[in-house]
Structure 1
Amino acid sequence: MKHHLTTVLILLSFIGYSQTDFQKGYFISNTGEKVEGLIKNKDWKNNPEEISFKFSENAQVQTETIKTIKEFGIYGRSKYLRATVDIDKTSELLRNIDDNREPVFEEEQLFLKVLVEGKASLFSYSNEDVTSFLYQKGDSDIEELVFKVYLVKNQEIAENNYYKQQLINNLNCEASLTGEIKGLKYEPGSLSKFFIKYNKCENEDFQTYSQKDHKAIFNISLKAGIKNSSLEIMNQYNGFRNTDFGNQVGYRVGLEAEVVLPFHNNKWSVFVDPAYQKFLSTKETPNLYSEVTYHSIEVPIGVRHYMYLTPSSKLILSVMTVMDISFDSSLYFEKEAYSTLEIRSGKDTAVGFGYNYNNRYSAELRYYLGRDLMTNYGSWDSDYNTVALIFGYSLF
């Protein structure tokens, strides 16, 4: 059973990984030729160095890199421009912050994400350690807007906000913008709004590519379902006490909290799904009467991947670790010297495959790969397995 479920997990993971989402777009080659077709939209969290492209739906996929193209875009969604720039890649992670106030520039060739394009253009660059914003006025060179956190005395964190002075010096259309610059935050929404206002102030045409607000989405859902569970108890010293309680159909009911991550087209989320469940069973043989009473709050904590079929429907693949809090739970043997054993359950692993409609209704078939209910006792072992069909309704 466990081997079968592991195979299912690997297969479903491969399906989720293999899913494609090609959308209409273009790239411009090094010779200046504009080539239109379909680009795999990965909704990049970090700026890419290559793209997957095909001329039509059934055409072969080809890879274009930062060495072969100088621009690409997905119509109505995003645009990336190749540029050689001086950029500070000093990590913003707290554990890597040092006491150097000044940026450390390195010349690199990058695909910059275009946020606002006009007389004054705004770009962004992200990797695992840092997010930087750059700008260009007219035909001048693209320049980084300087922002850096650093340490001062007593290990306190300070900020170098030189980007505000850069904007005052170079993009100060009217006096009202000067006051606004002082309150600007070093983030895409705040900076984009400023660059839009500047272009409007200069009566210049502009284009924005930041129409999608990349924010995490928080969902709360009611979850209820039916489950089929089996339990087998084993004792390594007294085999006659081994008991197979067989299968029992029961229910689970709970509440799920989910955070949909703000990248890769909202295809990934993390969630926690606490639910009440129980297993009650008896087993009688000529030599022994056994009874199990098992109540618990199981707490799956996992990662979910959505595979879109249409804008309103999607398949779901979930992988999770399951914590379990048992209470009022025991194993009872009639006519035994030590007739009652307390149940204390261990961790479990589960995989789910399901369907979501309109971000409101969901159904999931979930496999639990097995947990031990006898963790308090070294001479006892158990195998508790469950298959559950879970229905969900999103409250918001």
Structure 2
Amino acid sequence: MIRKIWILLLIVVSSFKSDAQIIFESGYFITDADERVDCLIRNMDWINNPSKFEYKLSSNDAIKVGDIHTVKEFGINQVSKYIRTQTKIDRSSDRIEEMDAERNPVFQEELLFLKVLIEGQFSLLQYTDNGLVRFFYKTKDSTVNQLVYKRYMVDDKVLNNDYFKQQLLILFNSEKIALEDFTRLKYDDRDLEKLFIKYYEVNNLTFINYQPKRSKYLSHLTIRPGISYNSLKIESAINDLLNTNFGSSLGFRLGAEAEFILPFNKNKWGVVIEPTYQYFKSEEFKQTNQVSGGILISKVDYKAIGLPVGIRHYFYLNQKSKLFLNVNYVLDFGLNSTIKFLRNDNSVYSSFDIKSISSLAMGIGYKFKNTLGIEMRYQPSPNILSEYPYMTSNYNTLLLTLGYSLFK
């Protein structure tokens, strides 16, 4: 039954997916014939530089595709800008196992859409592709050039080619910027943007910053009480008397969730950590002549502090509400948790401790105004008696939680 409910919920969420993620915003593109076309562009908040994009000429128009072979520039108004360029790029790996011993970059010429970070007399551009990050500079009258940074290995030592610092020192050639601003420079967007902006400000030059507000990891703290629907069945390979189906019962759980929204893809991805407390108690009676008193009492008393850590993805329905999916890795720490088998006089026939278990969990939920939320989560657990090689268990949990965000 639990699995059927879960499948049904997945079907419901998937029916929203196609519409919920399509967000078109005002933008433009420039064709090879230098024709500017104002349109609506699907804002994917790209992690990797795209080679194509989707657009509509009006809100009711069919979706069309512009690509790098027919478009020389495109952008979303007040948000982002990409320019096409034929340039040389070094794709040498930063991974230690893939590094070479060559200090100089290995260039290859490619046609790329580069993201404009800072635009002015000197422009700062960025290219990202599955972990590879390269920065470029461009003057109004020059071609695009890569800012050179390469890690390489010699005699099992990782060394850096920081030629980009010298490139920028020569490019700016300004006495108003201290030499240490270049020597301390890191090859990342934050440091490079800061240097370019400083150059424009100390020289009173105009420029456009396409990232005026630095994206940050948004954080939410949510109180999440709820109920759990638990079921447990255990079996023994050596003693049939221990085979017990504890059935299903309701329990209470209380959690506090910290959520960190990742600064890309329109804030659709987040990392969640949710310490929780939950319990499951049940008792079964079995008549048997194999124990004194003729009755075997089976008791489970499971109390645990859980630590789910996972990834969340949102599907926007409108500006106020959204659905989400979770995948969590859960580590539960048992608190004096046991499964006991007692004779009729309460003497112990057999006893097992439950210490810690780990499992995966999947959840579906809904949020309104980033304040109120509800989630259903299914958590099939592995053998909670794994420390006892002759015992197996089937422990499943279906959680229903409510959430109220204190910080949003």
TM over 0.5: yes
Structure 1 residue aligned with 2:103: 101
Q: How much does 1:60 deviate?
A: 2.3
Q: Could you tell me whether the CA contact under 8 Å between 1:345 and 1:371 is conserved in 2?
A: no
Q: Measured at CA, do residues 15 and 27 of structure 1 come closer, stay the same or move farther in structure 2, by a change above 3 Å?
A: farther
In the TM superposition, 1:30-49 aligns within 5 A as 30-49=32-51
Does residue 90 of structure 1 match 2:92?
yes
1:390 to 401, 404, 408: 401
- Using the TM superposition, give the Cα deviation of residue 247 of structure 1 relative to its aligned residue in structure 2, in angstroms: 2.7
Identity %: 40
Partner of 2:125: 123
Change (3 A) 1:142 1:75: same
User: Among 324, 330, 338, which residue is 1:322 paired with?
Assistant: 330
Task: Give the Å deviation of 1:346.
Answer: 4.1
> Cα deviation per residue 1:219-269 (whole Å; 9 max; x = unaligned)?
444433222222233346665654332332221123334332222122112
**Which residue number corresponds to residue 292 of structure 2?**
none
- The superposition leaves residues 188-245 of structure 1 with CA deviations (integer Å, 9 ceiling, x where unpaired) of 2222233234345555432221224234345444433222222233346665654332
Measure, in 1, the Cα distance between the counterparts of 2:102 and 2:17. 41
For residues 245 and 117 of structure 1, the distance between their equivalents in structure 2, rounded to whole angstroms, comes to: 67
Q: Give the Cα–Cα distance (whole angstroms) in 2 for the partners of residues 247 and 85 of structure 1.
A: 64
In the alignment, residue 137 of structure 2 is paired with which amino acid? Y
Letter in 1 for 2:301: T
Report the counterpart of residue 4 of structure 1 in structure 2. Answer: 4
User: Which SS does the other structure have where 1:81 is aligned?
Assistant: strand
* Paired residue total: 394
Query: 1:345, 1:374 within 8 Å by CA — same for their partners in 2?
Result: no
Counterpart secondary structure, 2:170? helix
**Which digits, 9 at most, give the CA deviation of each residue in 1:96-121, with x for residues without a partner?**
33332211111110000001111211
Cα pair distance change 1:110/1:260, threshold 3 Å? same
The separation in 2 between residues aligned to 1:13 and 1:358, in whole angstroms, is 19
Structure 2 counterpart SS, 1:367: strand
1:124 CA drift (Å): 0.6
Residue 178 to residue 166, structure 1, CA distance change in 2 (3 Å): farther
Q: 2:291 is matched with which residue?
A: none
Matches of 2:220 and 2:93, distance apart in 1: 32
Change (3 A) 1:165 1:320: same
Give TM-score scaled by structure 2 length: 0.86
User: Structure 1, residues 2-21: CA drift from partner, whole Å, max 9, x if none?
Assistant: 64256347536745763222
Q: Deviations over 1:143-174 (max 9, x none)?
A: 11112222345x333322222222222222x3
For residues 197 and 54 of structure 1, the distance between their equivalents in structure 2, rounded to whole angstroms, comes to 38
Q: Summarize the Cα distance change of 1:100–1:258 in structure 2 as closer, same or farther, 3 Å threshold.
A: farther
Aligned partners of 1:54 and 1:60 also within 8 Å: yes
Return the alpha-carbon distance in structure 2 between the equivalents of residues 350 and 157 of structure 1: 40
Amino acid at match of 1:4: K
Deviations 1:56-81 (A, max 9, x none): 33432222221121111111110000
Q: CA–CA distance in 2 between the matches of 1:39 and 1:168?
A: 37
Q: Which residue of structure 2 lines up, in the alignment, with residue 374 of structure 1? A: 385
1:69 aligns with 2:61: no
If the length of structure 1 is used for normalisation, what is the TM-score?
0.88
**Equivalent position SS for 1:233:** strand
Q: Once the 2 structures are TM-superposed, how far is the Cα of residue 24 of structure 1 from its aligned partner?
A: 1.7
Aligned counterparts of 1:168 and 1:345: Cα–Cα separation in 2: 57
CA distance in 2, matches of 1:289, 1:108: 74
Contact 1:120–1:198 (CA under 8 A) maintained in structure 2: no
Quick one: which of 24, 27, 39 aligns to 2:26? Answer: 24
Structure 2 runs not aligned, ≥5 long: 289-295
- 1:340-361 C-alpha deviation (Å, 9 max, x unpaired): 2333564333221223344454
